[in-house]
A and B are shown apart, each in its own frame.
Chain A
């Protein structure tokens, strides 16, 4: 085994190609049609059964969808989310004891504006999807991404956390539901026509996306904006859960991408089954047990309609963004080693967020991705070292040097103080703190005061994204105003800190 001169003379042999007449591994009768895992071929009928069972099984296992609960299905038009939609339909049409008991609604976010589609193309795609949605009979909402520009700042502000449900609550809820026989819970059919999009808002959305200089940052920004809009739609329409269509291939790519983007601390939430970062709205990923291949085959064989909509990375080369490169890495590896995706995906299953983040103060959350901040690290860390070297290299203007000096003090033990340091002039946006309105004579660093102040409110990865943007002023108003609010608050806390009794238990 472990000799110095190990010799592997035997060449690797390719797996035997199964013969055409191979039978289904399950019923041993039907002619095989799909190879799911290496060597396991299913016939049409068994594949359908397997696929449908898996959806129910994953929902049954996690028990997060309560009977009678309103659940918003986020459908992008792609194969995964359309397949999810058809599985929900399938589940609702089952007989009594197998029936899914939640109330679905559909949301489609039209990103055509950000991707640069023409108005006609967008109309055509929306019309195509509306036809699909109408056929389901579920209420649906078509929301243009432009609406993200007019969101209230409550989207990224503290949300009241719902009271914790006890462990036995699920059974009790099911019991109640069965007794009441589901009476009074009916699907109200509503359709929100797509709001007319002003050309000016499409333009400012394009400017916002365009202000990110790399495709990596652009995709990341688009994801963030999309998620905010999804959560906002769920809140305003009264849904408490949002179902996302991420499949396991997608999640494996996302996991590796997240690590490369510096989002290691947020992995569990980014790729897990349920994601409670928004507290009152829980994001659920029921498709995470299906591979992209299974979904594509199912959709093809059982005629699940999906609409192809180009995205930012359509027709781009492998190396155009970190996301794209990771995807090609995973799919290529998968072609030769069929267990690649499942291995990565199993890893994501084992990840857990540490307890503190769920109880942490809301101010300690990233302004963009709403995950717990990972920037509150000790002085002797790589993160702080990067900051210092960045500050030193930027210290050309005299004002900036003065900002760099306090940085060397052992201040940044908690994010508040980091915020205050980076903030020497964040009151430049000048609200009620009465200082330097208009930011006269403050930092003359290239990034401007807004950027420095804003970055202190972000997690490491979102900071990187913002750094790739030419100007933060193009960010939607709700983000900027919430940033100012948080900065004022931390500033105030700084000012009164001498009078506070104990760091731990002060009530805001």
Chain B
């Protein structure tokens, strides 16, 4: 049983439009049997935060190509992408590089 994880989410480059224009979110992920990884985080975001047009944010079980992910200010490719296990107080940033957000 993993303890609840408090994380800080940030959306930029137009991605925030899908979240009612709110750029920063402080939230606590509830405790669950297995530790939280980014893949589960995306599902959680889609269920609880995303306000509209989910296909513009997630595709398959990853983010839509063109949206960059930074974990604690480093490229998520260095952190293991979807398999990265979230730690308490982690900072996850999503930046859209697509034209028009």
Contact = CB atoms under 8 A, between A and B. Distances in A.
Interface in B54-77: 55-56, 65-66, 68, 70, 73-75, 77
Interface in A322-338: 323-324, 327-328, 331-332, 334-335
Contacts of B77: 17-18, 35
Nearest to B16: A308
A22 B78 contact: yes
A311 interface: yes
Given A32-B74, A41-B78, A315-B56, A79 B13 contact: yes
Contacts of B65: 328, 331-332, 334-335
Contact of A293 (B52, B55, B97, B100): B97
A295 B77 CA distance: 17
Interface in A243-284: 249-250, 253
Contact of B93 (A300, A317, A327): A300
A301 to B, nearest CB: 7
Interface string A281-304: 000000000001101110011000
Nearest to B67: A331
A301 B75 contact: no
Given A301-B73, A315-B101, A331-B98, A296 B68 contact: yes
B99 A18 contact: no
B78 A296 contact: no
B70 A20 contact: no
A315 B97 contact: no
B76 to A, nearest CB: 9
Contact of B14 (A250, A297, A314): A314
Contacts of B98: 327, 331
Nearest to B10: A300
Contacts, number: 88
Contact of A33 (B16, B52, B56, B78): B78
Contacts of B50: none
B28 to A, nearest CB: 24
Given A308-B14, A310-B14, A314-B14, A20 B78 contact: yes
A313 interface: yes
A34 interface: yes
A35 B78 contact: yes
A323 B99 contact: yes
Interface in A164-208: none
Contacts of B75: 32-35, 41, 297
Nearest to B63: A335
B35 interface: no
Question: Number of contact residues on B: which range applies?
Answer: 20 to 34
A301 B95 CA distance: 12
A313 B66 CA distance: 15
A317 B70 CA distance: 25
A327 B66 CA distance: 9
A316 interface: yes
A308 B101 contact: yes
Contacts of B80: 17, 20
B47 interface: no
Contact of B99 (A22, A293, A311, A335): A311
B70 A300 contact: yes
B81 interface: yes
Contacts of A316: 100
A150 B75 CA distance: 47
A312 interface: yes
B49 interface: no
B6 interface: no
Of listed A17, A18, A253, A324, residue having the most chain B CB within 10 A: A17
A332 B59 CA distance: 10
Interface string A15-50: 001101010000000011111000001000000000
B79 interface: yes
B17 interface: yes
A237 to B, nearest CB: 28
Nearest to B79: A20
B74 A33 contact: yes
Nearest to A253: B99
A312 B95 contact: no
B18 to A, nearest CB: 8
B93 to A, nearest CB: 7
B26 interface: no
Q: Which 3 A-B pairs have the closest CB atoms?
A: A292-B97, A335-B65, A331-B66
Given A17-B81, A308-B14, 11 more contacts: A17-B80, A249-B97, A250-B99, A297-B68, A300-B70, A300-B93, A310-B17, A312-B100, A315-B56, A324-B99, A331-B65
22 contacts: A18-B77, A20-B79, A33-B75, A34-B74, A34-B75, A35-B77, A35-B78, A79-B97, A250-B99, A293-B97, A296-B97, A300-B70, A300-B95, A310-B14, A310-B17, A314-B17, A314-B101, A315-B101, A316-B100, A324-B99, A331-B65, A332-B65
